[in-house]
């Protein structure tokens, strides 16, 4: 099953909510920004409770709720804002579809794949939005690292729980380790002369490698050969990213 009418309708509601946020002109910037996040967050919490019957499954949609207003601030074209809203709604649908299927069939590998794809896409939005907000507003660096750490922990815990069910303490420990490492990397990346999209892609790469290793460990597929492959792929992808990205001096 790849289509669920209820999840589709909630995704349409999220798309319309994002479009509403993009079209508004607020007298107070911070007041409007807080209202936008609150509106999308309430929608995420209500839909999570209706679809999966558990509020803990609202991690990923909440990340979108926090990311979309920031991303929309960084995009000027109305057409591009519509595209961002459409992609966000697609990730919203895919994530909830995966969580719904896992709730009814915990061993569904297709649902786990959907959840991983949705999580990585949402994290790219989340990292890019947070870094773009940091670059354009007077946000302390410790706030950026804290936000990245919290987001990484939530995403790791949400997805790793699907691979290692019944051992919440172990999942929490691995998720905390991944989040701590990601937060430290975000501090390092803050000194790089790159834009927010490049920083978001780099952060996603640094998150993905330890997360996928932990996921492979839980599933019993991790080996020495695969670990070496992880390291080589990391170096290769990071090199390509730095080579192709525009370098910008931060002043």
Q: Is residue 88 predicted with pLDDT exceeding 70?
A: yes
Write down the number of H helices and E strands in the chain.
9, 0
Measure the CA–CA gap between 166 and 214, rounded to whole angstroms.
Answer: 16
Per-residue confidence band for 247, with pLDDT thresholds at 50, 70 and 90: low
Measure the CA–CA gap between 56 and 119, rounded to whole angstroms.
Answer: 15
Q: Residue length, the chain?
A: 251
pLDDT above 70 covers a percentage of the chain that reads 91
Measure the CA–CA gap between 7 and 14, rounded to whole angstroms.
Answer: 10
What's the pLDDT score for residue 163? 67
Q: How far apart are the first and last CA of the chain?
A: 51
Mean per-residue pLDDT, 18-44: 80
Nearest of 60, 132, 66 to residue 97 by alpha carbon: 60
* Alpha helix (H) residue ranges in 24-140: 29-52, 59-74, 78-104, 109-136
Mean per-residue pLDDT, 17-21: 86
Residue 19's CB is within 10 A of a number of other CB atoms, namely: 17
In the block, residue with structure tokens 């909630």: 10
Contact between 40 and 17 under an 8 Å Cβ cutoff? The reply is yes
Q: Is residue 165 predicted with pLDDT exceeding 70?
A: no
Measure the CA–CA gap between 5 and 43, rounded to whole angstroms.
Answer: 17
Q: What is the dihedral of CA 51, 38, 145, 166, to 10 degrees?
A: -20
In the block, residue with structure tokens 């919203």: 92
């Amino acid at each position: 099953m790849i289509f669920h009418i209820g999840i589709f309708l909630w995704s349409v509601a999220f798309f319309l909510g994002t479009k509403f946020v993009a079209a508004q002109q607020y007298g107070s910037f911070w007041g409007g920004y807080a209202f936008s996040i609150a509106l999308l967050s309430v929608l995420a919490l209500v839909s999570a409770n209706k679809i999966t019957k558990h509020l803990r499954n609202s991690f990923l949609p909440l990340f979108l709720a926090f990311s979309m207003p920031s991303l929309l601030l960084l995009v000027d074209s109305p057409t591009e804002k519509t595209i961002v809203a459409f992609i966000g709604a697609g990730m919203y649908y895919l994530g909830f579809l995966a969580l719904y299927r896992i709730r009814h069939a915990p061993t569904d590998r297709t649902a786990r794949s959907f959840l991983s794809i949705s999580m990585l896409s949402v994290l790219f939005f989340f990292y890019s939005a947070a870094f773009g907000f940091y670059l354009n507003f007077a946000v302390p660096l410790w706030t950026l690292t804290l936000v990245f750490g919290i987001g990484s922990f939530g995403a790791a815990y949400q997805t790793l729980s699907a691979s290692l069910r019944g051992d919440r303490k172990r999942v929490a420990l691995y998720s905390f380790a991944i989040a701590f490492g990601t937060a430290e990397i975000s501090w390092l990346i803050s000194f790089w002369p790159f834009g927010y999209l490049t920083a978001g892609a780099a952060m996603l790469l640094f998150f993905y490698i330890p997360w996928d290793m932990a996921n492979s460990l839980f599933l019993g597929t991790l080996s020495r050969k695969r670990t070496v492959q992880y390291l080589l792929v990391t170096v290769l992808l990071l090199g390509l990213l730095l080579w192709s990205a525009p370098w910008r001096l931060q002043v």
